Amino acid sequence: MKVVYQTCCGVDVHKSFLVATIIKTTSGVQPSYQKKRFSTFNNSILEFKKWLLDNSCRDVCMESTGKYWIPVFNLLEDELNVTIANPKWVKAVKGNKDDTKDSKWIGDLFRLGLVPGSYIPCKPIRILREFTRYRYKLTSCRSSEKNRFQNALTVCNVALDSVVSDIFGKSATSVIDYLLKQPDNSINHEEISSRLLRSLKKKSESVIESIEGYQMTDAQKYRIRLVHAHMDYITSTISDIDSMIDSLVGTL
């Protein structure tokens, strides 16, 4: 097979250490190997980088193992060509696996051009992606809290969501706040009607019917307040993240 990289390095990265094998093809196709182990502390990664440069090795391939490859990549990307390989492309042969053999195997495959690299965007895009992914997680968390809030009302015999289209709208929120403040689970029909806005005023009888006779203990009220407060906090955090994303996008 054709040798694509005359000098390259295969790296097997772990949480606390990495094993690297430099492969050089000086004559013919029979390569020579140099193996070395480094820790994943920054000063040791810089030593690894110097070792590569001293050996005129500027092409490196390592497996995308969890997040362990990222600190190594961060310190190598400015001067070296780093290929991040999907684990399925560099999986060692069964029964022939250990740290030293893994780095050699990765290097051998890479040397012959058999390892397709994963797309790694530039650092500003990577940072932006961290924020967008975190925003997605928070949005999912808020959706879970909304479901939890609605279920908490249901088990307290509050069927308000059967009448209003948005249980988190101004009218519904105002009615729920009123219910949480009543010590004896009683309701004042006129007070409820006064809290309804716009088209919902026409449904005042249905709204009152959906909440009349509700059963809510102090402990349940406390839990509903906790869930609602958490929802507000998540919404505020998402707003902050949106501002940061706009700022980051503006610098690209």
Same domain, 164 and 246: yes
In a domain, 49, yes or no: yes
C-alpha distances out from residue 38 to 7, 28, 45, 49, 231, Å: 20, 30, 7, 10, 45
Q: Is 72 within 8 Å of 45 (Cβ atoms)?
A: yes
pLDDT at 194: 92
pLDDT at 91: 72
> pLDDT tens digit string along 72-131?
999 999 999 999 998 877 776 445 555 567 889 999 999 999 888 899 999 999 999 999
Same domain, 144 and 114: no
Same domain, 92 and 196: no
> pLDDT tens digit string along 184-228?
888 899 999 999 988 888 889 999 999 998 999 999 999 999 999
| Token pair 């690297």: residue | 20
Same domain, 83 and 138: no
Same domain, 149 and 175: yes
Instruction: Please give the residue that has the higher pLDDT: either 224 or 30.
Output: 224
pLDDT at 66: 86
> What is the total count of domains within the chain?
2
This prediction has a pTM of: 0.82
